[in-house]
Structure 1
Amino acid sequence: MIGPYVGRVEQSIRTQPPGPRRRPPTGAAAAAVPGPGRAPETVGAPAKSVTSARPRPPAASPRLRLRLPLGGHGRGRTGRPTRLTAIGTGVLAVLATLAMAGVDRLLFDGLGWLFGFGYLVVCFQLAVRVRYVDLLAAPISGPIAFALALLLLEPVHSSGVTAQVVSLATGLALRADWLFTGTGLAALIVLARFVAQRRFHRAR
């Protein structure tokens, strides 16, 4: 019985290659040994997914836009004067005429040439700056502002409603040249703008 066993041992020794025998890896060593179709991994380090690193475009910085407030009588982006509505024309006429009348009475103790010249300037500005749809507001607002300035700032020697009416009528009569000149100037400018606008629309 010992003979066949010895024969098998000798046959196994002949078939094995010379050198120490390899032992199967166990534990952490088994994880480090790459197998077929398996990528090597670092022992004790978690697997990290490899992603393609693409450069990100820089974030666009917000553009700061500064807007300057434009008043009712300033100039817009196109360089043209800002147009006035009918209400704006009346308010501007009253305020400007009262201001000129107040300055004239403060300097010369009455309403004289400074008030009349200021009224001409006011009528010109109203006719130039009023909108096309509100052209009639310019020649109408001027005389109303003129009469209101006389009623409020013209010195009255006696009290009462009758005295106020007489003083207003007298002031209008004495300053009729300034009144009709300023109102006529505004009417001519408004008429010229109206005709020019009509011709422009017909040409188109």
Structure 2
Amino acid sequence: MEQSIRTQPPGPRRRPPNGAAAAAVPGPGRAPGTTGPAPGSRLRPVADRSGPARPAAPRLRLRLPLRGRGDEQLYGRRRTGRPTRLTAIGTGVLAALATLAVAGLDRLLFDDLGWLFGLGYLVVCFQLAVRVRYADLLAAPISGPIAFALALLLFAPVGSSGVTAQVVTLATGLALRAGWLFSGTGLAALIVLARFIAQRRIQRSR
């Protein structure tokens, strides 16, 4: 082995081409025909880069749920939770439209404002008190009676024409249907009061 090293010409050694790393000049402690590192050596064999490349590890992507208008998500499902809150103006508009619709249906079916109109008014007052937002809680018990009087003024049967006759008819209708009026308004007031107390307790606990 010493003779082979001495007979080499002086100058830098030529590097073997790719794929021929195993055919390099054997170092001390390694036989001429071996390809691995010498026993007891700390050198690691050079990996052959000409082989097939390793597949890259998959990257984890964090996909955040984008939201569209309101509470609707862009990925197909709609968010469920609390009902949509009404403002003061929305509460008044909803009370008027719903009460007039029930009154018109009752007048169309029974030619008068009776139990259907009363039950419809109770349902309307309940929905107003539940759906109004916290900042406009007083709008629920106020909008109900106004819508009730408007429905009586438009759909209650009038005996004669004139402003005086309409005022008398309105007063008579309110007197005859005072039970439905006070029941719906009282229900809305109780729900609003309960919501106000519950919200104050939550704020104090924080």
The CA distance in 2 between the partners of 1:91 and 1:97, in whole Å, is 10
**Structure in which a larger fraction of residues adopt helix:** 1
Equivalent position of 1:194 in the other structure: 196
The CA distance in 1 between the partners of 2:119 and 2:137, in whole Å, is 22
The CA distance in 1 between the partners of 2:166 and 2:77, in whole Å, is 49
For residue 92 of structure 1, the aligned residue among 86, 91, 94 is 94
Equivalent position of 1:183 in the other structure: 185
Equivalent position of 1:138 in the other structure: 140
Size of the alignment, in residue pairs?
151
Equivalent position of 1:169 in the other structure: 171
The CA distance in 2 between the partners of 1:110 and 1:67, in whole Å, is 45
Shift of 1:65: 3.7
Equivalent position of 2:84 in the other structure: 82
Superposed structure 1 runs of 4+ greater than 3 Å apart? 63-68
Equivalent position of 2:205 in the other structure: 203
> 5+ unaligned residues in a row in structure 2: which ranges?
1-54, 66-73
Equivalent position of 1:113 in the other structure: 115
- The code of the aligned residue for 1:133 comes to A
Q: Residues 116-161 of structure 1: CA distance to partner in whole angstroms, max 9, x if unpaired? A: 0110010001001100000000000000000000000011110001
Shift of 1:80: 1.2
Q: Tell me the SS of whatever aligns to 2:83.
A: coil
Shift of 1:83: 0.8
Q: Tell me the SS of whatever aligns to 1:159.
A: coil
The CA distance in 2 between the partners of 1:100 and 1:160, in whole Å, is 25
Taking only the aligned residue pairs, the percentage that are identical comes to 82
The CA distance in 2 between the partners of 1:80 and 1:192, in whole Å, is 17
> 5+ unaligned residues in a row in structure 1: which ranges?
1-54, 69-75
> RMSD of the alignment, in Å?
2.8
Q: Tell me the SS of whatever aligns to 1:156.
A: coil
Shift of 1:67: 7.2
Equivalent position of 2:6 in the other structure: none
Larger radius of gyration: 1
Shift of 1:89: 0.5
The CA distance in 2 between the partners of 1:137 and 1:67, in whole Å, is 33
Could you tell me the TM-score, scaled by structure 2's length? Answer: 0.64
Q: Tell me the SS of whatever aligns to 2:160.
A: coil
The CA distance in 1 between the partners of 2:99 and 2:145, in whole Å, is 10
The CA distance in 1 between the partners of 2:75 and 2:89, in whole Å, is 32
- The code of the aligned residue for 1:173 comes to A
Q: Residues 171-202 of structure 1: CA distance to partner in whole angstroms, max 9, x if unpaired? A: 00000000001000000000000001001100
The CA distance in 2 between the partners of 1:158 and 1:178, in whole Å, is 26
Q: Tell me the SS of whatever aligns to 2:125.
A: helix
The CA distance in 2 between the partners of 1:145 and 1:170, in whole Å, is 16
The CA distance in 1 between the partners of 2:163 and 2:109, in whole Å, is 27
Could you tell me the TM-score, scaled by structure 1's length? Answer: 0.64
The CA distance in 2 between the partners of 1:180 and 1:149, in whole Å, is 16
